[in-house]
């Protein structure tokens, strides 16, 4: 049996999904993949499939096997593409987490901005002359 893919990368002129995959990637995820594939300058990120939510509830509120490893793999890919590292105190990779399922669920988280920002990384960013303010550049879509 083939392993289910839970995470789809987009960015750096590469997209594992496309605009026709709204049911699996959600509206935002499918749109970001499509924009990447046609050459628009989309900041790199990844999408966790809508299937994960379904499996989570079917498994008694437990994430499906393999999801954690796949997310870690794509965080490393995102770090490589951006040249930044999540949690780096001097120049951290900042990520926004947004829900984008084709059908919204009650109580679903909408947005977390600047995931990866810590007290130490704020101090590091403040020392960088080219960072007048925080600008979010990368996205993980749930």
- Rounded CA-CA distance 140/99 in Å is 9
Per-residue pLDDT, averaged over 85-103, amounts to 78
What's the mean per-residue pLDDT of the chain? 82
Place of tokens 């989309």: 42
Per-residue pLDDT, averaged over 4-17, amounts to 93
- Classified as helix, coil or strand, 12 is coil
- Classified as helix, coil or strand, 39 is coil
**pLDDT tier at 136 (50, 70, 90 boundaries)?**
very low
In a domain? residue 44: yes
**φ, ψ (nearest 5 deg) of residue 79:** -60, -40
Distances (CA, A) of 77 to 14, 23, 45, 93: 12, 24, 9, 12
pTM assigned to the model: 0.79
In a domain? residue 127: yes
In a domain? residue 2: no
Which has more confidence, 93 or 134? 93
- Rounded CA-CA distance 123/74 in Å is 27
DSSP state of 52: H
In a domain? residue 1: no
- Percentage of the chain modeled with pLDDT above 70: 78
**Number of separate domains in the chain:** 1
In a domain? residue 31: yes
CATH code of the domain covering residue 92? 3.30.1490.20
Determine the structural domain holding residue 95 and report its residue range: 7-141
């Amino acid at each position: 049996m083939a392993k289910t893919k839970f995470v789809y990368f987009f960015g750096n002129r590469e997209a594992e999904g496309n605009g026709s995959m709204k049911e699996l990637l959600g509206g935002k995820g499918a749109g970001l993949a499509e924009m990447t594939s046609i050459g628009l300058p989309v900041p790199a990120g990844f999408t966790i499939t809508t299937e994960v939510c379904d499996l989570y509830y079917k498994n008694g509120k437990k994430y499906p096997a393999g999801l954690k490893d796949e997310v870690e793999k794509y965080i490393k890919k995102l770090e490589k593409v951006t040249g930044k590292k999540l949690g780096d105190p001097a120049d951290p990779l900042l990520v926004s987490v947004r829900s984008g399922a084709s059908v919204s669920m009650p109580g679903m988280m909408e947005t977390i901005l600047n995931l990866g920002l810590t007290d130490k990384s704020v101090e590091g960013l403040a020392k960088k002359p080219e960072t007048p303010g925080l600008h979010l550049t990368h996205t993980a879509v749930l």
